[in-house]
Amino acid sequence: MKLLLDLGNTRLKWALRDGADWRANGAVAWNENVADALAEAWSSLPQPAAVFGASVVDAPREARVAASVAVAFGHEPFWLRTPAEACGVRNAYAEPQKLGVDRFLAMVAARADGLAPCVLAGVGTALTLDALAADGRHLGGLIAPGPRLMQRSLLGATAQVRPAHAGTVVEAADNTADAVASGCWLAAAALIERFAARMAPALGGAPALRLGGGDAEALLPLLATPAQLAHDSVLHGLAVWVAAQ
């Protein structure tokens, strides 16, 4: 039995994996009391044999989670750093560890699910895009602000764009709130569609498109390109990697 950790920019997700079965799972946002939340959530769990983590956050937050793991289970987490190659996926980056481990594990999960060739979009604080060929080659990708971060950046950098309420996504807005929301969310959708179209020749035709991340479900209906949601792809990819060791 293994405890798997996904330390993302907005929250920590965890799952207890027993062979091929998920025994328990949960999440806690970084703006909560992480130590107390984990202590409560983990108090009734069976003892895992080992703990594995994938992290895109800073060392202090990793250390806080490691301390909670030590208190609850007496283990030290093994933090996976992005490799050049694993589980049939070959990293395109010349410096492999510069690729976010969340992006790499999402590709591992997609390949394990038989989706390659495909384009993967991670829709969260950042919008990440990656192209994965049928033979497991990572063809590279893009990073942009996620739609909510775009909105916050725009509001923080302008003097007169101060909508009084959250906007609705429409094709052409007649008020500032809707204009901001629509511009940011539709820009994210357009970038995903453009990347998928541009990568199609290298992937041998129109690739499968998979969306993950906290805002994936909200963005999905805005796409003209058929796509599917990926739930917990980092934890899934981490489980595949652990099983291969």
| Phi, psi (deg, nearest 5) at residue 71 | -65, -45
How many CA atoms lie less than 13 Å away from 12 in the CB half-sphere?
25
Do the beta carbons of residue 159 and residue 144 sit within 8 Å? no
19: alpha, beta or left, given left = phi > 0 and alpha = psi -120 to 50? Answer: left
Residue 28 token pair: 């806690």
SS3 at position 85: strand
Structure confidence at residue 166 (pLDDT): 77
Structure confidence at residue 160 (pLDDT): 60
> Would you list the DSSP string of 2-68?
EEEEEE-SSEEEEEEEETTEEEEEEEEETTS-HHHHHHHHHTTSPPPSEEEEEE-S-HHHHHHHHHH
Helix (H) or strand (E) holding 102: helix 101-112
**DSSP state at residue 215:** T
Structure confidence at residue 155 (pLDDT): 75
* Other CB atoms within 10 A of residue 7 CB: 24
Structure confidence at residue 157 (pLDDT): 63
Q: What is the Cα Rg of the chain in Å?
A: 19
**Active site annotation includes 113:** no
> Would you list the DSSP string of 113-181?
TT--SEEEEEESSEEEEEEE-TTSBEEEEEEEE-HHHHHHHHHHH-SS---SS-----SS-SSHHHHHH
Give CA separation, 110 vs 88, 131, 234, in Å: 11, 11, 10
Rounded Cα distance between 129 and 172, Å, is 26
Which of 6, 58, 102, 174 is flagged as catalytic? 102
Local confidence pLDDT in tens for the 245 residues of the chain: 999 999 999 999 999 999 989 999 999 999 999 999 999 999 999 999 999 999 999 999 999 999 999 999 999 999 999 999 999 999 999 999 999 999 999 999 999 999 999 999 999 999 999 999 999 999 999 999 999 999 888 877 665 666 667 789 999 999 988 999 999 999 999 999 999 999 999 999 989 999 999 999 999 999 999 999 999 999 999 999 999 98
Helix (H) or strand (E) holding 101: helix 101-112
Structure confidence at residue 176 (pLDDT): 87
pTM as predicted: 0.93
| Phi, psi (deg, nearest 5) at residue 161 | -95, 90
Give CA separation, 189 vs 42, 146, 155, 181, in Å: 38, 10, 20, 12
Do the beta carbons of residue 81 and residue 91 sit within 8 Å? no
Structure confidence at residue 167 (pLDDT): 86
